[in-house]
A = this chain, B = another copy of it.
Amino acid sequence: MAILIDGKSLSKSFLAKIRQELGEFKANNANFQVGLAIVQVGDRADSNIYIRNKLRTAGDVGINAKHLKFNRSVNESILIDEINKLNSDPKIHGIIVQLPFDSENSIDSDLIVNTVSPNKDVDGLHYANAGKILHGQVDKAFVPCTPKGCLELIKSTGVDLKGKNAVVVGRSKLVGSPMANLLKLNDCTVTICHSKTVDLPTICRSADILVVGIGKPKFVKSDWVKPGAVVVDCGINSVQSGEKNKICGDVDFEDVSKMAKFITPVPGGVGPMTVTMLLQNTLESAKRYYMNYEVDAQWKCG
């Protein structure tokens, strides 16, 4: 049976490190603080849950998170003005835009996401951050939280990535495409698959590292998996189980556990790491700010 890659526990240890590091910065510099702004339009129930979780976890580690909730009537130009205010606010180091919008007006989400300063884009969605990832300049970029978390989960197994065959199923800009690039930068030979891929099972069977993010419950079966592989499941699917709804991944966990050497569960795998990586990026952003500016001059002015 596969060894569980425990995202909950890994996430906890990352959060503890973030809290500690932040505390040390504060101890050395009375003005040091880390601020995150979450921009929401409308009142989607799922967004409300995600945001509540982000606010709570940020608070737990000592990050000042601020929720800007606009009602459904807000328009694009107001939103742009508000984001520009956050861009120039020295107390804010991370800005995220909760998608999708719940709005009366048509709002171009690409435009809004790209209005966020690339230096505060802790979701890693700005073109400039995506470009730095394509160009291999991860240290200067913000990496999107889900693939960043997946990479940490893979690394936590201790498996050496160099020269390994990695297969990524899914090519979205949020999950699959940046994941493939991260694995490439970690010296894997990477194959990226999608709904037009022919004979997906055979391709998956070539993977030493298999990352799946497609949004299809229990899609990947044990006979798609090479014995000994590391399997990471990004899927979050709600399926009916008796009277209730249950969350499951894109991988058939029970079945694939028989074949893989390491596997992430759903829930408790990639999910918890995603929020943690957001906070990691936010701390990283504050540190870059702190390194690049005259801290005392800047932090006092806010």
Distance from A141 Cβ to chain B, minimum over Cβ atoms (Å): 9
Check A189–B198 contact: CB distance below 8 A: yes
Instruction: Indicate with 1 or 0, residue by residue over A190-220, a CB within 8 angstroms of chain B CB atoms.
Output: 1111101110000100000000000000000
How many residues of chain A get a CB closer than 8 Å to chain B's CBs? 35
Residues of B within 8 A of A128 (CB): 127-128, 131
CB within 8 A of A189: which of B135, B189, B194? B194
> In the complex, what distance in Å separates the CA atom of A191 from the CA atom of B191?
4
Check B187–A196 contact: CB distance below 8 A: yes
Question: Is A173 close to B, CB under 8 A?
Answer: yes
> In the complex, what distance in Å separates the CA atom of A160 from the CA atom of B110?
30
Question: Is A272 close to B, CB under 8 A?
Answer: no
Residues of B within 8 A of A134 (CB): 130-131, 133-134, 173, 177-178, 181
> In the complex, what distance in Å separates the CA atom of A92 from the CA atom of B132?
26
Question: Is A184 close to B, CB under 8 A?
Answer: yes
> In the complex, what distance in Å separates the CA atom of A161 from the CA atom of B236?
31
CB within 8 A of A130: which of B135, B171, B194? B135
Check A135–B190 contact: CB distance below 8 A: no
> In the complex, what distance in Å separates the CA atom of A136 from the CA atom of B191?
17
In the complex, the count of this chain's copies comes to: 2
Residues of B within 8 A of A187 (CB): 194, 196
Instruction: Indicate with 1 or 0, residue by residue over A148-186, a CB within 8 angstroms of chain B CB atoms.
Output: 000000000000001111000001010001101100100
Check B192–A184 contact: CB distance below 8 A: yes
CB within 8 A of A127: which of B127, B181, B191? B127
> In the complex, what distance in Å separates the CA atom of A171 from the CA atom of B192?
14
CB within 8 A of A197: which of B130, B137, B163? B163
Residues of B within 8 A of A127 (CB): 127-129, 131-132, 135
Distance from A213 Cβ to chain B, minimum over Cβ atoms (Å): 14
Instruction: Indicate with 1 or 0, residue by residue over A93-134, a CB within 8 angstroms of chain B CB atoms.
Output: 000000000000000001000000000000000111111111
- Decide yes or no: A192 and B194 within 8 Å by CB, A134-B173, A135-B177, A173-B134 being known contacts: no
- A selection of 16 A-B contacts at a CB cut-off of 8 Å is A127-B127, A127-B132, A128-B131, A130-B131, A130-B132, A130-B134, A131-B131, A131-B133, A134-B134, A136-B173, A163-B198, A165-B198, A187-B194, A189-B194, A191-B191, A191-B192
Which residues in A have some Cβ–Cβ distance to B below 8 Å?
Answer: 110, 126-137, 162-165, 171, 173, 177-178, 180-181, 184, 187, 189-194, 196-198, 203
The 6 tightest CB contacts between A and B, nearest first, are: A127-B131, A130-B131, A131-B131, A191-B191, A187-B196, A135-B173
